[in-house]
A and B are shown apart, each in its own frame.
Chain A
């Protein structure tokens, strides 16, 4: 693994250079508080220090709204949608975000492998960047350190204001061909970046906690504060549920079928005709959301499906915190164990 030094002031030049390998998509500031992954127009606009984007990078592979087909009502026929395969370079991606894309790959490609997703996901290259954890990040607790480089072609690790650039793949090597503002250097270990938020157990102990947490009192407490807005799932980088709707033009002759992100936190998500609702209460839905992150898929794949980005917590209008819920479940589990031992 090669490592180069790169001055902060030369990063825009690197971004321009990467433009040879496809459209460059990178974080941009939207006001002071909100960030967003957008196509780069001017490399100087790219933000290198950001906590998290509002919408996850997922939106580039599984768009919030996506046309599935066009149809004609008159002819009872439809037209296919051609999903273009375009080369794209995703620049300035945090490690947890990259890990979320790897999880999304699994979700969309396992079982029936979806062609729409596959086409968008193909021909993408990733340049990672380190970050300073804020009060919401807890990715280390789910096994993802700041410098986790899996999935990246290149990775920028900030050292004293400038960067160390790691070359991780052949693609990464190719992307640096002809770029001369870098010098070979020895990799350094950066100290002093700490996660402020933590889950108290190693993540491999969580499935066991969840095994006994189904009837926990914690759910009712969380549910009593939740307003059911769905922001937690709509900003989550590993959520992938969707709804499908038909939209008809005013002429009533043509229309499109589209899908859009959906949320298991919305009350009608599991409702069927006739009014039966299989997760009728908020408590059922809150629990389902967390079990999807820490138990159901985790049992099969051995990894938490939460990457600790902190979005669901940062953007929850009710201040409901993912790591706090998990810590409360842990605490309750410890108490239950204590009582179990005492009784024996």
Chain B
């Protein structure tokens, strides 16, 4: 047990003060989602790893946990992509180039990159789940020779909800990326796959001993994706999932993000499937 006597003053932290970051780029990329590029003051870098998140502040409204969407290899600047779903996120919609955004973090455990080097990476992104996984994808692309295959499965409700369409095109055109996109409800122009994301899994040809899966999506998605991967015999410990929970502090204090005895903001949001399998509240 940690005791007061064990703690020195200089070891304590002011946990709740944001750093004011400048918005240097902003663009509404779909009906619901806006992309932002931010810059830390005095040329600092955020120092995040793929899969980590920040707490974004708008004074007078509050804070929300938001994934860092850019690769750490992009120095000094970082990107967010925020879906407008409620009070705070709708206020953030009005933020444009030149405004300041309060940022705390980076927080949480991202993808354990040391275990991913040399492996085939299978990314499974449902909807807004592409936002955190984009940091992983771009990290792999920036260090392409350090990884094996890069397979990306991406599902959205409709074609108009697809995020980062320019990048999707770029990925599609590269011969070192295997991209498979599907939509639940196609429109007249849609020529690609239709159906939920799990329909993309059976036909995949995976090298079981070297493939690492990284999954993010809406809460309902996880169980089904894990089931499909297991029926392909992918070992449990090669599956990583990034989970969403309500979060207030991001630093293991406020209690909101607990999954049974685990704090999602500290032990996650990226978990190895083996570690959360025994947790009844996880999936």
Chain A interface, DSSP helix/strand/loop, else mixed? mixed
Q: Which residues of B contact A278 (CB under 8 A)?
A: 245-246, 259, 281
Q: Which residues of A contact B256 (CB under 8 A)?
A: 241, 243, 262, 269-270
A172 to chain B, nearest CB (A): 16
Asked if residues A291 and B3 are in contact (CB atoms below 8 Å), the reply is no
Chain B interface, DSSP helix/strand/loop, else mixed? loop
* Interchain residue pairs with CB less than 8 A apart (19): A71-B60, A76-B100, A108-B253, A109-B12, A114-B12, A115-B12, A116-B15, A116-B16, A240-B255, A241-B255, A243-B256, A244-B63, A269-B246, A270-B258, A272-B245, A288-B260, A291-B260, A292-B261, A295-B261
B32 to chain A, nearest CB (A): 12
**Assuming A102-B1, A244-B62, A278-B259, is B253 touching A112 (CB within 8 A)?**
yes
Task: Tell yes or no: A44 within 8 A of B by CB.
Answer: no
Apart from A121-B4, A273-B89, list 7 A-B contacts with CB within 8 A. Answer: A106-B2, A112-B15, A113-B7, A113-B13, A244-B248, A245-B62, A272-B246
Asked if residues B261 and A296 are in contact (CB atoms below 8 Å), the reply is yes
9-residue interface stretch from A130-138, A141-149, A297-305:
A297-305
Interface string of B209-221 (1 = CB under 8 A from A): 0000000001100
A-contacting residues of B (Cβ < 8 Å)?
Answer: 1-4, 6-7, 9, 11-18, 20, 59-63, 85-86, 89, 99-100, 102, 218-219, 244-246, 248-249, 251-256, 258-261, 266, 280-281
**Assuming A69-B17, A105-B3, A241-B254, is B11 touching A113 (CB within 8 A)?**
yes
Chain B residue with Cβ nearest A101? B4
A240 to chain B, nearest CB (A): 7
**Assuming A112-B253, A244-B254, is B7 touching A118 (CB within 8 A)?**
yes
B-contacting residues of A (Cβ < 8 Å)?
Answer: 68-69, 71-73, 76-78, 80, 102-103, 105-116, 118-119, 121-122, 214, 240-246, 248, 252, 255, 257, 259, 262, 264, 269-274, 276, 278-279, 284, 288, 291-292, 295-297, 299, 301-303
Q: Which residues of B contact A279 (CB under 8 A)?
A: 281
Q: Which residues of A contact B100 (CB under 8 A)?
A: 76
Within the assembled complex, what's the spacing in Å between the Cα atoms of A111 and B259?
17
Asked if residues B2 and A110 are in contact (CB atoms below 8 Å), the reply is yes
B262 to chain A, nearest CB (A): 8
Within the assembled complex, what's the spacing in Å between the Cα atoms of A250 and B260?
41
